[in-house]
Chains A and B, each alone.
Chain A
Amino acid sequence: MSDKDPPVGSEQVPAGTGAPGAADPGAPAADQTHHWWRLIAIWVVLSAILDPLFYYLAGPHIPPGTMTNMAQGAQFDFNVLFVIALPVVLGVWIYLIYAIVMWRASRGGPEPVAGPYSRGHLGIQVGWIVSTTVIVLFLAGFGTYELVQPGGSGGGEGSSPIWTPTSQTILPVQVIGQQWKWTYRYPTFGGFETDQLVLPNDTTVEFNVTSLDVVHSFWAYQLGVKADANPNYNNVAYATTQQLGSFTVRCDELCGIWHGAMYNTGQVVTRQQFSAWARLTAFRLRKNTRLLPPYALTYTPDANGADGGYYPNNADPYSKVEQYGATPSQGGG
């Protein structure tokens, strides 16, 4: 850098305050370029090309894929939003580029003279507000429909979901989060508990997600399912499998030191393979299954852990109430 560089702001521009500038009232009239039509033409052409290009080329590959109806719904929503958002983004970008190219000030040039719309233009303002409102209301309505119609969009729906799938046969699977691993219980197969998440194809699965300690989040990525695992709370999510393959399960809510390592892989297999696997696993784990607490939608965590002792025990000098605190722990999930 040298002193010869003109410092910021040192360039000569005509004074704004009270300066005559280019006070020629005829100046705006000279600019008869049809900026509007140009902009609209560029915008329409680009949008018309890029939108279908995205929808038909990229759209089918957008995550989370089509392994379940919920994943497919999320993919469809993403694509619809993209198709709507793309023209909006293009519109602003085209306008910005156009403005930057067309409306640069020449250095030392005259002050511009404010055009008729410079302080506001009722039509443009109303048009903008109305159009954004219409888009937004449409999106909210569309999102609500997509949420309600398939029975919950794969997200956690709390302990008593009001939007449920219509399917007659539903396979319940309990997802238990703990620091720092996932285990799965299959109540309809004797309630065994395992590290493996195996699901049958063409089946509506009800995930009952709960936690034994802090908040986790069950994210079966390719299934399009995500539900927070809260202690002492059952969070239900639904998805109907429609493709074979493996999927990733990750914890999606920061749960402590090993949060980043809290993942495993699940499988969607055929119904026959699934029932064979389930029967075999139930048999293999039968000894341990007998030791598990009876299946329940939540397992009251013991705040004191196995031996935690965070809250004092009942014989407590500060307390005049003998019984307080957690009901005796049911052991574990």
Chain B
Amino acid sequence: MRIWGPVLRATATRDPRSCEATNITMTNSVDNQQFESFAGRLQETPEEIAFELRAQEGALWTGGRLLIGIWAFAFAALGFAYFYLRSANNENLWRPHGITAPTATGAAIFAITVASALLLMFGERRFRNDQTLDWQVAGWTAVLGGLLVIGLQIWQLTDLPFFPGSSGYASCFIGWAAMNIAAVLGATYWIETILAREIRLRRAIAQDGGAPSSTLPVARLFRANLNGCTYFWGFVAVVATFFWLLFYVI
């Protein structure tokens, strides 16, 4: 049963610290399918378990960075649209009368995003120093911050001083709002799932040093996941800064 990964191992073995191979016999099955031929065939060695744990950690690392790459290209498309329409300035309608989306809301969105990201990074440092509570507070604050950003962004859309199709700037701004909501929602969701999982894991890994230092597979994967998420928040903050400059400052 090791195919389901070390996460399962931590949940299925009697002693979570043990890396001994376990052999789970599957006796029940959906609509009585026969698993006997497979059950018990897999005898895993500690090396195999450890190897796959490394692979899983690596996959989380790769996945986190790849997500940043994916989003970077998406936002690059938006940035391209911004500069392309700006330089084309068709009918002098890039930005007539220097229209700007509500600046106070915009500044708040920017500030909260960046603050949440910084808070998370700080929180992760505290987490590494075994100050889990600090990290939890930072994390949940960031979740609140993310939700606040989304709310503000939606509210801002109802309060625009321009019609969406009135200029290139207006169009890009609507596009930015939609994409920012998606990105922040994704980042908030990610950190929230990690925080929630930490609550569920807490008891299981407490005697092993807790989330920051437990050597259990669950804890190791948890940390890899958290690391990717913090990086992603950093990326979101960079994006927020960049587009805040584009839409409100210059």
Contact = CB atoms under 8 A, between A and B. Distances in A.
When A and B assemble into the complex, do they touch directly, with CB atoms less than 8 Å apart? yes
Contact of A327 (B91, B99, B165): B91
A300 B163 contact: no
Given A326-B91, A327-B91, A320 B166 contact: no
Chain B: interface size category: 10 to 19
Contact of A325 (B97, B99, B160, B166): B166
A122 interface: no
B218 to A, nearest CB: 40
B154 to A, nearest CB: 15
A175 B57 CA distance: 62
A300 B165 contact: no
B91 A232 contact: yes
A312 B163 CA distance: 9
**Main SS at interface, chain A:** loop
Contacts, number: 35
Contacts of A321: 96-97, 99, 161-163, 166
B161 A320 contact: yes
Interface in B61-119: 90-91, 93, 96-97, 99
Nearest to A325: B166
A3 interface: no
A324 B162 contact: yes
B163 A318 contact: yes
Contacts of B90: 232
Nearest to A231: B90
18 contacts: A232-B90, A232-B91, A311-B163, A316-B163, A318-B164, A320-B162, A321-B96, A321-B161, A321-B163, A321-B166, A323-B96, A324-B93, A324-B163, A324-B165, A324-B166, A325-B163, A325-B165, A325-B166
Given A319-B163, A324-B163, 7 more contacts: A320-B160, A320-B161, A321-B97, A321-B161, A321-B162, A321-B163, A327-B91
Across the A-B interface, the 10 shortest Cβ-Cβ residue pairs: A324-B166, A319-B163, A320-B161, A311-B165, A321-B162, A318-B163, A324-B163, A232-B90, A316-B163, A327-B91
